Amino acid sequence: MDETLAAQLSRDPIADMATDVLADLYRAVCGRQPKAVRAYNDDDALLLLLRFDPSEIEDGDQEGFEHLLETAFLAMPGMIASAVEARSGQRMEAGNLSVCADRGLAVFAFNAVDESAEPAVDDDPFALEGLTATASTGLRAGR
């Protein structure tokens, strides 16, 4: 088998975990399984694709169910990122969300957060440590 094809077919445990969380969240909100949940990843980017039956929204007995589902979709990226971090320690930053209710499609975008990219305390312009040191010597910040 070609190495490129084998790499494309290999499964990413973080992507698998995120798809499981998304399916569980959808089931908790709608009471039904989604039609499909897929993950597509490339380096630090992850896309989750959710397919659902649009007639389930239209046939809902409860008035306002479509609004409830839209609100739930808006909250799901943060919940997915939190669940993945709690289970694996891998931090993800929620990105864009795109929902097309007429087609039964929702796409969630995420980026992996590189822990080494976070600024150190000395680099933080809002850190109080730097201000107190300059204040104690009688100098104004920026001089």
Any idea where the domains of the chain sit in the sequence? 3-115
Residues facing 93 on adjacent strands? 111
Tens place of pLDDT per residue across the chain (143 aa): 445 544 444 478 999 999 999 999 999 988 889 999 999 998 889 999 999 988 876 555 555 666 777 888 999 999 999 999 999 999 999 999 999 888 999 999 999 887 654 544 455 555 555 444 444 444 444 44
State the helix-helix crossing angle for 65-88 and 13-30, rounded to 10 degrees.
150
| pLDDT given at position 122 | 54
Are the beta carbons of 126 and 141 closer than 8 angstroms? Answer: no
- Measured in whole angstroms, the distance separating CA 96 from the mean position of its chain's CA atoms is 9
| pLDDT given at position 33 | 93
| pLDDT given at position 91 | 94
DSSP secondary structure string for all residues of 8-70: HHSPPHHHHHHHHHHHHHHHHHHSS--SEEEEEEETTEEEEEEE--HHHHHT-SSTTHHHHHH
Tally of CB atoms within 10 A around 114: 9
| pLDDT given at position 25 | 94
CATH of domain 3-115: 3.30.980
Predicted structure pTM score: 0.69
At 97, give phi and psi (nearest 5°).
-130, 135
| pLDDT given at position 115 | 66
- By CB atoms closer than 10 A (0-12, 13-18, 19+), residue 7 is exposed
Are the beta carbons of 47 and 80 closer than 8 angstroms? Answer: no
| pLDDT given at position 63 | 58
